[in-house]
Amino acid sequence: MMSSMFEHAYKLNTHNILSLLHSDPKARVIDLGCDDGQLTKKIAYTVKTKDIWGVDLIGRRLRLAAKRGITVKKINLNGKLPFKSNSFDVVHANQVIEHIVNVDVFVSEIMRILKPGGYAIISTENASSWHNIIASLFGWQIFSLTNFSIKIPSVGNPFALHKHITNRKEAVHNYSSTLTWNHIRIFNFFGLKEYLERFGFIIEKICGSGYYPFPTIFGGYDKVHAHFITFKCVKPFDKV
């Protein structure tokens, strides 16, 4: 039940991400944490651009992305990005920011590489979602923060999505690598909004999906308590 609801919410979140893009054949787009490039290609198709870049830490996933025609680079997103300032029109990061140790550098680098007037789409899980709030009331680890350990894939919640994974080897087999498995922090809705604004971004739109234990679509109406939250953040023209 939880697994199917998660999958439905994730698909709707992908729809939300694509809905925030606009067509610009001249746009230069980068996907931070591109994995195997499936979503990256959908982004490129929606924007109608061929100038598409993908960044990830896992070589075997990058090789799959490269086969899809994406220009790839192996990069640790906790550090500086090897790109010139003001060089991308669109930056995308889906389910990435929660894995980043040095999130100040991550967000600063997104702002730096974006052109003035360009935009970033940042999507992550929401600590304020109802199922996370309910888990906390029961004294359980919130659902979005059960996979914080490399040795033990799922901790502290009897209904966690990945509770069936019992060891590190299985986690690596199913989820690319434990290097990118762990969740470091989970933002609350207004925490992430204020954080992005403090870096100078203008929040143009916020979308939500997932509303456990209620129907997924409700997350689009009550974004504060949706499971996935997606922010479209614009770099002001006076930022260089």
- Model pLDDT, residue 25: 97
Contact assessment for residue 70 and residue 26, using Cβ atoms and an 8 Å cutoff: no
CA 42 to each of CA 36, 46, 51, 70: distance values in angstroms, whole numbers, following the listed order: 12, 6, 13, 11
Residue 78 and residue 101: Cα distance in Å, rounded? Answer: 6
Residue 8 and residue 35: Cα distance in Å, rounded? Answer: 20
Cα-based angle 201, 203, 209 (whole degrees, multiple of 5):
130
- Model pLDDT, residue 16: 97
The model carries a pTM of 0.91
Q: Which CATH entry fits the domain spanning 17-125+185-234: 3.40.50.150, 3.50.50.60, 3.90.25.10, 3.90.700.10?
A: 3.40.50.150
Contact assessment for residue 68 and residue 40, using Cβ atoms and an 8 Å cutoff: yes
- The residue ranges of every structural domain in the chain are 17-125+185-234
Q: Over its length of 240 residues, how does the chain's per-residue pLDDT go in tens digits?
A: 556 777 888 999 999 999 999 999 999 999 999 999 999 999 999 999 999 999 999 999 999 999 999 999 999 999 999 999 999 999 999 999 999 999 999 999 999 999 999 999 999 999 999 999 999 999 999 989 888 887 777 888 888 877 666 555 555 544 444 556 789 999 999 999 999 999 999 999 999 999 988 888 888 999 999 999 999 999 998 876
